[in-house]
């Protein structure tokens, strides 16, 4: 955890030294990296055996109202 905090502080120090133009470049790079990480996570899920079928069943259950309210789950667990 401390490593993450330290890295974020270091990044903030560097960012404070950059021009607006360079900050825009960094923002684009960060957006690309975040999107790439999201795509990789999605691909991992899609590669799980049976995931697509289970996901589609879940969407159908939600659409048809077969869900348990969060409040009920909180009381139960």
Contact between residue 46 and residue 52 where contact means Cβ atoms under 8 Å apart:
yes
The predicted-structure confidence for 33-49, as pLDDT tens digits, reads as follows 999 999 999 999 999 99
pLDDT score for 75: 87
pLDDT band at 77 (very low <50, low <70, confident <90, very high): confident
> Using CA atoms in the order 52, 57, 62, 64, what is the torsion angle rounded to 10 degrees?
150
Residue 1 pLDDT greater than 80, yes or no: no
Query: Which residue segment(s) compose the domain that 57 sits in?
Result: 2-76
How many folded domains does the chain comprise? 1
């Amino acid at each position: 955890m401390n490593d993450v905090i330290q890295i974020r502080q270091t990044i903030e120090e560097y960012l404070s030294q950059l021009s607006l133009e360079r900050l825009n470049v960094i923002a684009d790079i960060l957006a690309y990296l975040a999107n790439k990480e999201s795509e990789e996570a999605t691909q991992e899920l899609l590669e799980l055996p049976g995931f697509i079928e289970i996901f589609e069943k879940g969407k159908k259950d939600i659409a048809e109202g077969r869900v348990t309210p969060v409040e009920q789950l909180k009381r139960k667990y």
